[in-house]
Amino acid sequence: MIRKIIRFLEREDGPSAVEYAVMLMLVFLACIVVIQTIGQSVSDSFGSSSNSIDEAFTASGV
């Protein structure tokens, strides 16, 4: 019984799976942060373009 416990504690399958899960979570969170940042930048750019087009139409009298 003690040998089984020692073998269980010496196995590295469990800890490596946990390490991969933590790394995957960190990559996932980094992707979310990047996508939100880029999304906000794109949204601001399209909003600015829309305002410029509206101002051009208003100034031309259309």
Separation between Cα atoms, residue 62 and residue 49, nearest integer Å: 18
- At 35-56, the pLDDT tens digits run 999 999 999 999 999 999 999 8
pLDDT of residue 62: 67
pTM for the model stands at: 0.55
What is the CB neighbour count within 10 angstroms for residue 3?
7
pLDDT at residue number 14:
67
pLDDT of 12-36, one tens digit each? 766 677 888 899 999 999 999 999 9
